[in-house]
């Protein structure tokens, strides 16, 4: 019996990205002019990069970029054609405003609030939210 190469499950990062509408992220970024100084590293790519960083428990920008370059064939499916450069990531972490990511979170929360358990709705998660956008520019 031959081994099957069909994977029935999806990685957690892919499942999370399926909940995020890339068009609405791009609309939010365009309305706030957050992509004004970036040619290839738009807000959606920045969001995917930071989620990749969190899920793979990366501690430096070098680790994030080398991991993304090693798995570039998997990133093609989420809409990233090329892994960003280390200096591009560091500059974006330093210069791109966190407000666009807060707006993305707020939009996601409002869209998927009905899927959350009732016990979690008693305390507004936005009060407990800590956006952590690590800045690796020191490394």
Q: Do the beta carbons of residue 78 and residue 63 sit within 8 Å?
A: no
- Please report whether residue 7 resides in a domain: no
Q: How many CB atoms lie within 10 A of CB 83?
A: 21
- Please report whether residue 51 resides in a domain: yes
- Measured CA to CA, the distance from residue 139 to residue 64 in angstroms comes to 12
Q: What is the pLDDT of residues 26-51, one digit of tens each?
A: 888 888 888 887 778 889 989 999 98
The runs of H, that is alpha helices, within 20-98 are 22-31, 43-55, 61-70, 72-75, 86-95
- Please report whether residue 134 resides in a domain: no
- Measured CA to CA, the distance from residue 135 to residue 115 in angstroms comes to 32
Domain with 20, as residue range(s), is 12-110+121-128
Q: What is the pLDDT along the chain (139 residues), one digit of tens a residue?
A: 455 555 556 677 777 888 888 888 888 888 888 888 777 888 998 999 998 888 888 899 999 999 888 887 877 777 788 888 899 899 888 888 888 888 998 888 888 888 777 665 555 655 555 544 454 544 4
- Please report whether residue 136 resides in a domain: no
- Please report whether residue 41 resides in a domain: yes
Structure tokens at 90: 């560091």
Distances, alpha carbon 62 to alpha carbons 59, 80, 82, 83, 93, in Å: 9, 18, 15, 12, 14
Phi, psi values for residue 99, rounded to 5°: -65, -30
Number of domains comprising the chain: 1
The pTM score is 0.74
- Measured CA to CA, the distance from residue 74 to residue 81 in angstroms comes to 10
- Please report whether residue 77 resides in a domain: yes
- Measured CA to CA, the distance from residue 26 to residue 16 in angstroms comes to 17
- Please report whether residue 61 resides in a domain: yes
- Please report whether residue 25 resides in a domain: yes
Structure tokens at 59: 């501690």
């Amino acid at each position: 019996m031959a081994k099957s190469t069909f994977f029935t499950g999806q990685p957690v990062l892919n499942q999370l990205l399926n909940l995020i509408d890339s068009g609405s992220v791009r609309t939010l970024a365009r309305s706030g002019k957050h992509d004004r100084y970036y040619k290839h590293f738009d807000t959606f790519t920045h969001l995917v990069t930071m989620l990749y960083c969190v899920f793979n428990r990366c501690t430096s920008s070098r680790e994030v970029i080398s991991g993304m370059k090693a798995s570039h064939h998997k990133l093609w499916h989420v809409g990233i054609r090329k892994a960003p450069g280390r200096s591009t990531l560091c500059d974006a972490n330093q210069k791109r405003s966190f407000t666009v990511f807060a707006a993305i979170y707020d939009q996601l929360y409002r869209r998927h609030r009905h899927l959350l358990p009732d016990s979690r709705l008693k305390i507004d998660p936005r009060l407990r939210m800590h956006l952590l956008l690590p800045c690796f520019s020191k490394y």
